[in-house]
Structure formats: C-alpha cells, structure tokens
Amino acid sequence: MSVSNAASLRGTDSGRGVAPDTIRYNREVPGLGDPVFDVSGLSIHYGANKAVRDVDLKVGPRQITAMIGPSGCGKSTVLRTLNRMNDLIPGARVEGKVSYHGEDLYAPSVDPIEVRRRIGMVFQKPNPFPKSIYDNIAYGPRINGMRGNMDDLVEETLTKAALWDEVKDKLKESAFALSGGQQQRLCIARTIAVNPEVILMDEPCSALDPIATLKIEDLMYELAGEYTIVIVTHNMQQAARVSDRTAFFTAGVDDSGERYGSLVEFDETAKIFSKPSDQRTEDYISGRFG
C-alpha cells in the first residue's frame, strides 16, 4: 500500500501526520562524511533487563540527527550512551561498540569526564544552576580551568545562543528569573560555553510553549553549522523541521515478555517522512500508532 502522497500523510485524525509545509528549513542534506559517532551492535542493560537491543547508527558531522519513536523505545537511553551519562545510573551496562571519531568511547582508558567535556548535553527540563545568568555560563569554563577574558566569553556565548539582547542588562540576576524558553536557551549557551564538538539534546522543547519551541529550533539550525547535534524528540514535526537524518526507534516485547527498544530505520529525514522503507515507520509517522 502506498501512503507516500502528501494528502494521506496530513489526513490522520490524530493530527500528528506531517504536512510538507512544516519543513521550514531548506538545505542540502550533508553527507555522513567521517562519522562523528559510529554505533554498532549497541545493547543497553539496566540490571537484568536488556532495555535496548542491537542499535546500528552513524552520526555525521555538523548536522542534526533526530531520534524519534514512541515512549519506551530507548531513544533517550541511546542518546545518553553517547556521552556516557548512563554511567551515572546504577546498574546500567553497555554492550557493543560506540566509536567517537574511531575511538571506542567505552574503552577502559577513556575518562568519562573528558568525554562529557567534548560532548555536551541539554536536558528535557530547563535546568539552570541556582546562580546568576553570568555564573551559569561561566561554570563550565571555570571548572575546565579556562584562561582569558570571561566577560567576553559570556557575551560571545550568549550571542551565539540568541539570548544576549534579552539578558545583557541582567547578567547578575538569578537564572530562575528567566522564562522557560529563555532558561533552555541559557542551558544551550552553558553547554556551548565549554566549546564542545557535539551537543546532545534530550527532548529540549517538551516543557516549552510553541513560540519558545520555534526559537530553539531556529537556534539549533544556526548551531548545526558549527556543532554536531543529536536530538531526541517526541514531536515528529520537530524532527521533520530541523533534522537532516532521522532514526526511528520502536518498543517491542520479546519471547519472554520483556519490553525492549530497538532501531527500526535510519535514513535521511525527507526519506523517512515520505518514503519510509519499513511499514512500522510508516504507521508511526502517519499517526496510526504510538
């Protein structure tokens, strides 16, 4: 059966189908080149539970890779293995290989602190520190022993995060005084202040209103020229709007009744949303399940 025409994509009762006009950014999809991440045969265990199974994925440089899928499909879990945040969860164990520029991220000699310096992360809920706006940005550079002019760095970083004009007169005020969307952009600024190569985003807009969401998406698009971005999102339109490549995950149940997540399909975003090669992807993006 064919669902590849736009009308049938739009016409789902849940309203979650992706209309072509929601694609805001028009650009060539960059090649995978020398992939930043090369994930192969990745499985993640929580205690006795093998929660995510056999994921193969490549993340290309300076582009946006989206991970989508229903709840419990393991997309956030996979994201957190990319900068070893899973190390902080008791009982979490990784199997398979995660390469970062050809280097095994889980080799015993790898220091997770160093990994996270280069691979930053933005979280679901805006989580600024209970400090001033200035100190939120300065935190990362300070702990990393940065020398040089902190004032300049703060200004440059906030400008990059499209927040400078809104906060330049209240840098010494608490970050909590900002709106949710501003706080999230502050968190993005805080991440790029340590000059990472990759920014991981775990549903960065799920706590924000539509206007704040669009601002973050614009920002992501801007940043993709300089950083490699991997975003987990619940919002398919968002993936369709901003990403170059999309990985679709799904949740399944194995023979022993255990739930697990796995990768269904990974391809260029335009292809995933117009001519997916797997029926499950097609069902999901046309709003038929999940």
Partner 1 sequence: MSTEAPEAPKAPDARRGTLQSGKGRLADPIFKWTVGVCGTVVLVILALMVVRTTAEAWPVFAKEGFFGFLLGEEWDSGRSRTEITGTYGAWPFIYGTLVTSAIALAIALPLSIMIAVYLTHLAPSRLAKPLSYTVELLAAVPSVIFGLWGLHWFLPHVLRPFFDRLEAAMGWFFLFEGPVRGVGYLPAGIVLGIMILPIMTAIIREVVAVQPLEQQMAAYALGSTRWEVVTKVVLPASFSGIVAATMLGLGRALGETIAVLMLIGGSQSWGGSLFDTGSSMASHIAATFGEAAPETRTGLMAIGVALFLVTMVVNILARVIVWRLGQITGDSAV
List of residues contacting partner 1 (CB under 8 A): 83, 85, 88, 90, 113-114, 116-117, 120-121, 123, 125, 127-132, 139-140, 143-144, 173-177, 187, 190-191, 194
Q: How far is residue 18's CA from residue 16's CA, in Å, rounded to a whole number?
A: 6
Q: In angstroms, what is the minimal distance from the CB of 118 to partner 1? A: 8
Q: In angstroms, what is the minimal distance from the CB of 129 to partner 1? A: 6
- Neighbouring CB atoms inside 10 A of 43's CB total 17
Q: Measuring CA to CA, which residue among 18, 76, 23, 62 is closest to residue 242?
A: 23
Closer by beta carbon to partner 1, 97 or else 125? 125
Closer by beta carbon to partner 1, 130 or else 225? 130
Residues contacting residue 30 through CB under 8 Å, at least 6 positions apart: 60, 61, 62, 63, 244
Q: In angstroms, what is the minimal distance from the CB of 113 to partner 1? A: 5
Q: In angstroms, what is the minimal distance from the CB of 267 to partner 1? A: 28
How do beta strands 228-232 and 245-253 pair?
unpaired
Q: In angstroms, what is the minimal distance from the CB of 280 to partner 1? A: 32
Closer by beta carbon to partner 1, 173 or else 226? 173
Q: In angstroms, what is the minimal distance from the CB of 157 to partner 1? A: 13
Compute and round to an integer the Cα radius of gyration of the chain. 19
Residues contacting residue 197 through CB under 8 Å, at least 6 positions apart: 36, 118, 119, 227, 228
Q: How far is residue 81's CA from residue 61's CA, in Å, rounded to a whole number?
A: 18
Find the angle CA(255)-CA(259)-CA(265) to the nearest 5 degrees.
95
Closer by beta carbon to partner 1, 36 or else 115? 115
Closer by beta carbon to partner 1, 40 or else 144? 144
Closer by beta carbon to partner 1, 49 or else 127? 127
Q: Measuring CA to CA, which residue among 122, 252, 127, 280 is closest to residue 194?
A: 122
Closer by beta carbon to partner 1, 52 or else 119? 119
Q: How far is residue 211's CA from residue 167's CA, in Å, rounded to a whole number?
A: 18
Q: In angstroms, what is the minimal distance from the CB of 169 to partner 1? A: 17
